[in-house]
Amino acid sequence: MSETTFPQFRLLPGPGICYAVEGPKRLIEWRPRSDGWWRTDVVAREYPEQLLIRDLLACEEGRYTTCTEEEVVLQVARGKVAGDGILPGMQPGVARCEPTADVDLSGLHTFGVPARAEFAVEVRTDGEVRAALQWAAECALPVLVLGGGSNVLFHRDVEGLVVLNRIGGTAVLADDGDRVEVAVGAGEPWHGFVVQATEAGWGGVENLALIPGSVGAAPMQNIGAYGAEVREVIAWVEAIDRRDGALQRFTPEECAFGYRESLFKQAGRDRYVIVRVGFHLRRSVEVRTGYGDIARELAGVEAPRPGDVAAAVIRIRRSKLPDPAVLGNAGSFFKNPVLSPVAFAPLQAAHPEVPHWPAADGTVKVAAGWLIEQAGWKGHDRGTHGVHDRQALVLVHRGGATGADIWQLASDIRASVRERFGVDLEPEVNQIGLSAAAPQNSAQGK
Ligand code: FAD
Ligand code: EPU
């Protein structure tokens, strides 16, 4: 961690105002009132607020005094607190990190291949995230954040500390009768949030029903399915910077979302721990039923509501995708390749039937599942592992395979698709512990 670490605590003697500086642009303020405190949660996008934070950090002109978290917690505990509510994960309290050594990860990820962690710890608050980062920094150990483990392939045991994100809770921050702003803890199961939203009549996430994993990992690859992507409903993402513990709030633009991409997967990879996500959902939303089989599933349903769409998506997904509780997998192993018009032209000339989706910028997304199936891999069986027989993009683990075995199969598929169609498939699944000596495609390991 760098020199200034967060949070920092300050007191303004006289009026007795308490401050927790959570980051260079983030501040919690408690102002004393006759019957207790007024709490304000400041996201400092504007200059004056940023200036106040700078002054607090510098203890400008000796106005402010430095204090500890315990002192602020003790002070504030003396009275009732009104004002801005506490976001999921921001519960005050002094956190310690007490990791467990030599943890079996095989039940903590959906591929189910064998892997152990040197150390692992569950975190439920921002404070526990920071304590875990601090502990790992002091031990000079690397950190791996894991949510539901539904988009990772372990190639070997993990050196260092696995931080299991279990930050729970949902808070409605605003509701004007139509549009709601909801903050959700990063460790909440994604599908649980979809159920909660559709039951409340909030539209926007229904097409993303039954995607496994956590809310915190959803922005990581901008999860998408059935004509929707999570970026369309994300209001903001909050993450702790591993370098200094600072809490940062990112706008959707700052998240740099793309198809199965974001800042957190690219320039911000291994830098941020996502702790909360804010969503904008609407009661008046027009449901999207245009993709694939949804319209057919909804035939006969007049004016479908978000809950009807979610139910249709669940039925379609159950008919195509393997349940990780029964058959190990991480969903689509590869991304659908996005080709330039120049690269797409010869493919289309040779295979006019190839399923594809042109984008506004001229690029063309091609169905990787079709390429893999045409190359003869659908249902391919290597005993312990293979290719799903209903979805060629999904590699499956039947039991007894290692991450290296799965990667060898993925590498063979890539080589064959490249040879047959001249198209390079890029893995979607995050490769953990992939060594340079692994078969051919290691340079692309993510
Ligand atoms: P993990 O697998 O735990 O982590 C994934 C990556 O994100 C890792 O690199 C990890 O280090 C990082 N990470 C996790 N949490 C955090 C955090 N809080 N802060 C910073 N980094 C973090 N995906 C889709 O987009 N669409 C689908 O339709 C879809 N269908 C699927 C179907 C099945 C059957 C399965 C098994 C997977 C599917 N997926 C799909 C992939 C997967 O469910 C998503 O990518 C999901 O968002 C992963 O969440 P997770 O919590 O399991 O992430
Ligand atoms: N196809 C085949 N053979 C196959 C699989 C697919 O020919 O074995 C063809 C289909 O006929 C169809 C096209 O490919 O024309 C698209 O298939 P599908 O609708 O099943 O979707 P996909 O492109 O294979 C993507 C996502 C899924 C998401 C679905 C539904 C990627 C990498 N995958 O799959 O996401 O659930 O669309 O929207 O974009 C994931 O990311 O893990 C994932 C499962």
Ligand 1 site residues, Cβ closer than 6 angstroms: 110, 144-152, 165, 186, 211-214, 216-218, 220-221, 223-225, 264, 272-274, 321, 324, 329-331, 430
Handedness of CA 106, 108, 112, 115 (dihedral sign): negative
- Say whether pTM exceeds 0.95: yes
Closest protein CA for atom 13 of ligand 2: 367
Atom of ligand 2 nearest to the CA of 330: 42
d(CA 11, CA 203): 43
Quick one: how far is CA 280 from the chain centroid?
A: 17
d(CA 395, CA 333): 6
422 within ligand 2 shell (Cβ under 6 A): no
d(CA 446, CA 433): 10
Domains in the chain (CATH in brackets) are: 8-83 (no CATH), 87-320 (3.30.465.10), 338-444 (3.90.78.10)
Q: How far is the CA of 353 from the centre of ligand 2 (A)?
A: 16
Closest CA to 427 of 218, 107, 258, 443: 443
Residue 223's contacts (CB-CB under 8 Å, 6 or more residues apart) are 190, 208, 211, 213, 217, 229, 230
User: According to the model, what pLDDT value does residue 4 have?
Assistant: 77
Q: How far is the CA of 321 from the centre of ligand 2 (A)?
A: 10
User: According to the model, what pLDDT value does residue 161 have?
Assistant: 98
Mean pLDDT by 10 residues, the chain (446 residues): 81 95 97 96 92 90 89 92 96 91 98 98 97 97 98 98 98 98 98 98 98 98 97 98 97 98 97 98 94 89 94 96 97 98 97 96 97 98 98 98 98 98 98 82 35
